[in-house]
Structure formats: structure tokens, C-alpha cells
Amino acid sequence: MKLKNVGIIGLGTYVPERIMTNFDFEKIIETSDEWIRSRTGIEERRFASEEQATSDLAAEAAKKAIKKSGISVEDIDMILLATTTPDYPIQSTACVVQELIGAVNAAALDVNAACSGFVYALTMAKGLISSGMNKNILVIGAEVLSKCVDMQDRNTCVLFGDGAAAAVVSEVEEGYGIISQFLGAEADTKGSLRTPAGGTRKPLSQEVLEERSNFLQMKGQDVFKFAVKALPKATIEALNGAGLEAEDINMVFPHQANSRIIDSASKRLGISMDKFYLNLNKYGNTSSASIGLALGEALEKGLVKKGDMIALTGFGAGLTYASMIIKWCY
């Protein structure tokens, strides 16, 4: 059986209105704009309002993606929502989004591969559609990290922001769409990037609240060492799968975590930084939303056109890493 060509036919993004700058952080913790910018490249990020949950951001991005795709919400038969910040511990956020957008004919589930989640979910969508099991899948990466980081931990709270990106994935014309993908993982036994408590390993308790272990914790140096190797490795594997060389890529959309990590990946891959799209200065690290947010912004600026060969590449907690090569179809 000949597998179908699968690609993105509509993409939408959403970020909350509230802007949290480095100078705003100077007022609440011991840090500085210069310290944050020089180490990360981040200048500001978006924070959800008190009333907004991950599903709210996801639904807004999803509505835009569906409108751009030209299909109706009733045509969506699966929702794959990549997130590390679900609305609830039990009840998938994808099911909440299903109700918010009226996707009455869709199955729904969450995917947790952290910052690699958008590429993981796109890979799952490709497999389901190419096999004929599904026709139109809504892939979403959405996070409200501002409610999951410790605002007393100056090493982590300045890094993260909130946002959402959604893609409608369907069959596309021959020669276009997702050309190849690579997914990888390394078990993180040291807790380099995780929320230690609040799950079944260490349930929520008064002790947990007092020690603040219900918030995200990160060992920055460990994550940095992993990322500078994982990002180029994933990209090279995806390029090999596509039978392409680095110079064949028109643009790279990396996970927006740290400008120094991206600069290192550029050097290791031999791809000019001019081809790497960066917007982490405006949004910070939005985990599973970041790659989609970058791609969506580039599309709005007209920087990606039909026939362009692009790479999506990321790394995250787990530890996970992933990359995908797409020949853009619109």
C-alpha cells in the first residue's frame, strides 16, 4: 500500500496579552535585565491571566489553524495536544479543547514529550493519516508555564513563558509535506528538568508545599550539555532520513530555549545562523509551543513559501529530542 503524503495545511498561534519583561522580574527577585539577556537572549515573555488555562490558549490557536486550513471543525477527527502544563492531572486537556472548539467528531489525547512535544505529536499525526486511520488531525503545542514555575527561583522563573501553536495536518499533494522525522529520548535519572512532586512518586502534601517541590526544577548546566549535543544530532538524523544535506535546508525552527544553544547547533550543523528563526527574545521558553510559535510568526512575515525545505528541531525534559524535515506545501 502506498502511504499518503502528509503535511500541515493550516497553522495558527496565540499568546496572552500580558507582557512580563526582564525589568518586571527585577522588581520581584534578585536579577537583572543584563544577566538574563546575556545568558539566554530572552528580553520578555507572555504570561496568561488568572482566568486562562492551557486549554484556553490552545483553543484560540486551534480556531486560527482550522480557519486557515479551509476545512470545518467537524472535519477534525483527532486532537493531539502536546503539553507539560495540563488543565487537570486527570482529564486530558485535549478533551477540554475538543469542547471549547466544538470538534464533536474528534478523538482526543495529550502528549507529554516536553519541549519536543510538537514534533512528537506531528510525527504521530503523520503515521495515523498516512496509514489511513485518520484524515484531519489537529496538532497543538500549548503551555501555561507561568503557573508552574517557582517565582522565588531566579534561575528558572525568568526562562519560561506561555503560548500556543496549532497545526491542521492532512493529506497533501505528492512531493510535499513531512519528508522525514527523528524521535529520541534519554532517561533522565538525575532530575535535570522535572517537577519532582505532585505525581504518584511524591504526592502533594504539606511538606511538598513547604519545600516548593511542586514547581518545575532545572539543573541548568546538565540541560545545556544535553541540548548542545541533542539538537544537532536530531537534525542530522532527520536530514539523513530525508536524503538531504544541511545546505538543502531553507530555514530551521529550533526550540526557543537559549540563544547560546542555538548558536552552538548552528556551528555543529554548518548551517548559518541566518537560517535559524529566533523569537525567544519576545516569548522566552514556551516548551511544546515554541517551535510552532516560531514557525507561525515566520509564516505571517512571508518568510516561508511553498516548496521551501524547513527543519523543526527540539529537545526537552524526559530527556527527549526530535527533528522533522518538511517540504512546505502552501
Q: What is the DSSP letter of 322?
A: E
pLDDT, residue 3, reads: 82
- Three-state DSSP state, 193: strand
Is cis: bond before 145, omega within 30 of 0? no
Q: What is the pLDDT of residues 250-262, one digit of tens each?
A: 999 999 999 999 9
Q: Where would I find the H helices in the chain?
A: 22-26, 33-40, 54-69, 93-101, 117-130, 206-211, 220-242, 259-269, 280-283, 290-300
Q: What contacts 285, CB < 8 A, 6 or more positions away?
A: 42, 115, 145, 159, 160, 161, 255, 256, 257, 258
Q: What is the pLDDT of residues 23-67, one digit of tens each?
A: 999 999 999 999 999 999 999 999 999 999 999 999 999 999 999
The distance from CA 226 to its chain's CA centroid, rounded to whole angstroms, is 18
The amino acid at residue 33 is D
Query: Is residue 275 within 8 Å of 267, Cβ to Cβ?
Result: no
Alpha-carbon dihedral sign for residues 283, 284, 288, 294: positive
Q: What is the mean pLDDT of the chain?
A: 97
| Gap between the Cα atoms of 308 and 299, Å rounded | 12
| Gap between the Cα atoms of 128 and 169, Å rounded | 10
Q: Is the pLDDT of residue 1 over 80?
A: no
Q: What is the pLDDT of residues 260-299, one digit of tens each?
A: 999 999 999 999 999 999 999 999 999 999 999 999 999 9
pTM, whole model, 2 decimals? 0.97
Domains present along the chain, CATH in parentheses = 6-175 (3.40.47.10), 179-327 (3.40.47.10)
Burial class (CB in 10 A: 0-12, 13-18, 19+), 203: exposed
Active site residues: 115, 255, 285
| Gap between the Cα atoms of 68 and 10, Å rounded | 5
Tell me the average pLDDT across 301-313: 98
Q: What is the DSSP letter of 302?
A: T
| Gap between the Cα atoms of 26 and 157, Å rounded | 12
Distances from the Cα of 51 to the Cα of 48, 92, 157, 305, angstroms? 8, 19, 20, 37
